[in-house]
Amino acid sequence: MRKIIIAIDGYSACGKSSTAKTVAKALNYTYIDTGAMYRAVTYYFMEVKFISLTNEKEIQRALGEIDLDFRYNAKTMMNEICLNGASIEHEIRKMSISEKVSEVSTLKQVRQFLVAQQQKMGKRKGIVMDGRDIGTVVFPQAELKIFMTADIMERAKRRQQELLAQGQLVPLEEVLDNLKKRDFIDSTRTESPLKQAVDAVVVDTTYVTLDEQVEYILQLFNATIARQIQGQS
C-alpha cells in the first residue's frame, strides 16, 4: 500500500485534531498532534521547572531533560502524550497552559527541538500530522496539505464545549479572548508563523460536520494516490 504524509494546519479549535484523528484511523495511519508537543514543553517550562522564557541557557537545559512520546491508553482509547514516561494529556489542556503555549511556541530553540522529532516521526510516511507549520516547515514535501479555518465564534463555542467535557467551565468571553490572542501570536511570530502553504487545500469547517470534513479529506487522499499512480505509468 502506498503511504503518504498528510499535513493539516490551521487556526486553534477549528476541528483539526478530531478530523486528523478520524482520517488517520480510516487509513490506518499514525496521528500526531504537534500542538500537544508544544503544550507538553510549555507544561514542563511553566509548571515543573518555572523557567524564565528569556533565559536561553535555562531553556536549553530544560529541553535536554524532556523526553516526549505518544502512548496508547486502552481505557480512553486514545494516544496520549507522555513526558518522561508519564501521561500529561489532562494537564496540557488546562487554560493555564493555553495562556502560555503560544509564547513558548515563538522560541526558536523550542521549535528546532520539536520540528526535528516531528520530521523523524514522518520518515516512514503513513502519517497524519496536525499543527501550524506542518505543510510549510516540517514537511514542505507532504503529498497532501490541508489548511483548516472556521468562524472565530464557532471555534470559541467548540473549544468551550471541549473544556466542559473535561470538567472545566470557562466563560465564552475568556475562551474567545484566548483564541484571538493565540491566532495573533501564531500568525505573526518570526519563527515559522502559521500561514497557508501555497499548495494547501483550504477547508472552512464553520458549517460542515466532522463526517463531511473527513469524507472530503479522504476524497482528496484518493485523488492524490490516483495522481501518483498515473504519474508512474
- Binding flag, residue 136, ligand DC (CB under 6 A): no
Say how many CA atoms lie within 13 Å of 177 toward its Cβ.
Answer: 7
Residue of the chain from 14, 24, 59, 101 that contacts ligand DC (CB under 6 A): 101
Say how many CA atoms lie within 13 Å of 195 toward its Cβ.
Answer: 11
* CB of 1 or CB of 165, closer to ligand DC: 165
| Helical H segments across the chain, by residue range | 16-27, 34-43, 56-64, 95-105, 108-121, 152-165, 172-188, 210-232
What strands lie across the sheet with 201-204, from one edge to the other? 30-33, 127-131, 5-10, 144-149, 201-204
Which phi and psi angles does 181 have, rounded to 5°?
Answer: -60, -45
Least Å distance between CB 135 and ligand DC?
A: 10
* CB of 117 or CB of 224, closer to ligand DC: 117
* CB of 34 or CB of 79, closer to ligand DC: 34
* CB of 24 or CB of 134, closer to ligand DC: 134
What is the size of the binding site for ligand DC (CB under 6 A)?
A: 14
- Binding flag, residue 15, ligand DC (CB under 6 A): no
Instruction: Assess contact for 42 and 100: CB atoms under 8 A.
Output: yes
Q: Which string of x and - marks every residue 20-59 that binds ligand DC (by CB under 6 A)? A: --------------xx--xx--------------------
- Binding flag, residue 105, ligand DC (CB under 6 A): yes
* CB of 12 or CB of 213, closer to ligand DC: 12
Residue of the chain from 131, 142, 160, 205 that contacts ligand DC (CB under 6 A): 131
Least Å distance between CB 3 and ligand DC?
A: 21
Which phi and psi angles does 30 have, rounded to 5°?
Answer: -85, 140
Residue of the chain from 7, 22, 113, 132 that contacts ligand DC (CB under 6 A): 132
Q: 3-state SS of the chain: helix, strand, coil percent to 5?
A: 55, 15, 30
* CB of 34 or CB of 149, closer to ligand DC: 34
Q: How far apart are CA 40 and CA 97, in angstroms?
A: 9
- Binding flag, residue 159, ligand DC (CB under 6 A): no
Sign of CA dihedral 6, 38, 190, 149: positive
> What is the binding site for ligand DC (CB under 6 A)?
12, 34-35, 38-39, 101-102, 105, 131-134, 182, 186
